[in-house]
Amino acid sequence: MTVSIADWFKETANWVFILLAIPTLLGAWRTVTSNNIVRSVLYLVVSLGGAAAMFLSLGAAFVGWTVVLVYIGAVIILFLIGIMITRAPLGMKAELSHASNVRMPAALLSLSMFVLVAWGLIDAFSNTAIEPFEPTPTSDIANLIFSRFVVPFEVVSIVLLAALIGGIALARRDDGGGA
Amino acid sequence: MLNQYYGDYITVAVFVAIGAILVGGAVAANRAIAPRAPGGFKDVAYESGIEPIGGGWNQSHIRYYIFALLFLIFDVEAVFIFPWALQLEFFSSIGSGLTVLVEMFVFVGILLLGLVYAIRKGVLTWE
């Protein structure tokens, strides 16, 4: 089944996709091109917000709001504090490296990643018609987590515990005193 | 159901748009009517009326990192509690309420071990 460009633009969902993709891409672009690392992190918020909105537009409300809560709410805080711990002594004047010898490999790597993902998706799904779908209610996810996937769910807490103890072990002094 | 779903988010989108217009309008109005005389002490960071000492980029103590990490871990925990709280009544109505309750207590209990570890190692004390 081939779809012409004109047909593609007739679909409202595609317009919503473009509307969400533009700020997501601009945010991602500015994240890597900004000269101020704190601004980079704030542009990353824009990009993640676009990704969350993309999940919402696909009817995956739980995943979308998890991105907002965990990534924008907590991971970004961790990034900012990480910057204030490690980068602050250098101050604002320390320019981020945009040297041309780094640019080329980075561009090459991003391009090959894009080609790989795009090729994989087109190869797997180009002949699959997208059925009209229903949004996934959070209650369905809960029913799965607490019945069929209850063991993975408990394993998640052990993974989180390992991350917590690992982080504390890295951050605290060895002499037994406080942080 | 899908239309209802998107309808809800259109309400959210409208509120976001109104918020953006309000903030953008306020900033634009400020730009348009505020007198501008840059330079001098206006570029100095405000520090309760005293002349600031040092730069704005102070190195944070690493203990902030531990608090951020704790926040992240328990934020992820909260993400799992939301669907659980939503469906606990349903599970209770089909007779597996107690099982699901215990499942969540095991989950929270394992993570509480991390909090106990943090307290015992003294990383939560503020010096």
pLDDT tens per residue across span B94-114: 988 899 999 999 999 999 999
* Cβ-nearest to B73 among A61, A134, A163: A163
- Contact across the interface for B66 and A171, Cβ inside 8 Å: yes
Residue A176 DSSP class: S
Residue B44 CB neighbours (<10 A): 9
Residues of A in contact with B72 (CB under 8 A): 70, 74-75, 77-78
pLDDT at B124: 81
Report ipTM for this prediction.
Answer: 0.79
**Which is higher by pLDDT, B107 or A136?**
B107
HEC secondary structure over A30-53: HHHHCCCHHHHHHHHHHHHHHHHH
- Contact across the interface for B110 and A146, Cβ inside 8 Å: no
- Contact across the interface for B106 and A167, Cβ inside 8 Å: no
**Out of A25-39, A50-64, A127-141, A163-177, which region has the weakest mean confidence (pLDDT)?**
A163-177
pLDDT tier for residue A173 given thresholds of 50, 70 and 90: low
pLDDT at A14: 84
Flag residues of chain B having pLDDT under 70: 1-2, 55-56
Residues of A in contact with B86 (CB under 8 A): 138-139, 142
Residue B69 and residue A45: Cα distance in Å, rounded? 18
pLDDT beyond 70 at A2: no
pLDDT at A63: 93
Contact assessment for residue B65 and residue A81, using Cβ atoms and an 8 Å cutoff: yes
CA nearest neighbour of B63 among A172, A125, A68 = A172
* Cβ-nearest to B79 among A56, A61, A70: A70
**Four-residue CA torsion sign, B89, B94, B97, B100:** negative
pLDDT tier for residue A3 given thresholds of 50, 70 and 90: low
pLDDT at A179: 45
Contact assessment for residue B119 and residue B82, using Cβ atoms and an 8 Å cutoff: no
Q: What is the pTM of this model?
A: 0.80
pLDDT tens per residue across span A9-58: 777 788 888 989 999 999 999 998 887 888 889 999 999 999 999 998 88
Residue B55 near chain A (CB below 8 Å)? yes
CA nearest neighbour of B73 among A54, A70, A49, A7 = A70
For A106, list phi and psi in degrees, rounded to 5. -65, -45
Residue A47 and residue A56: Cα distance in Å, rounded? 14
Residue B114 near chain A (CB below 8 Å)? yes
In the structure encoding, which two tokens stand for residue B18, read together?
């109104």
Rounded to a whole number, what is the distance in Å from the CA of B33 to chain A's nearest CA? 28
- Contact across the interface for A70 and B76, Cβ inside 8 Å: yes
Furthest C-alpha separation in chain A = 68
Residues of B in contact with A75 (CB under 8 A): 72
pLDDT tier for residue A178 given thresholds of 50, 70 and 90: very low
Rounded to a whole number, what is the distance in Å from the CA of B14 to chain A's nearest CA? 14
SS3 (DSSP) at B119: helix
Burial (CB count <10 Å: 0-12, 13-18, 19+), residue B101: middle
Residues of A in contact with B122 (CB under 8 A): 176-179
Residue A163 and residue B73: Cα distance in Å, rounded? 8
Contact assessment for residue B83 and residue A129, using Cβ atoms and an 8 Å cutoff: no
- Contact across the interface for A160 and B122, Cβ inside 8 Å: no
Closest chain B residue to A160, measured at CA = B73
Q: Which long-range contacts (CB under 8 A, 24 or more apart) does B87-92 make?
A: B87/A139, B87/A142, B87/A143, B87/A146, B90/A139, B90/A143, B91/A146
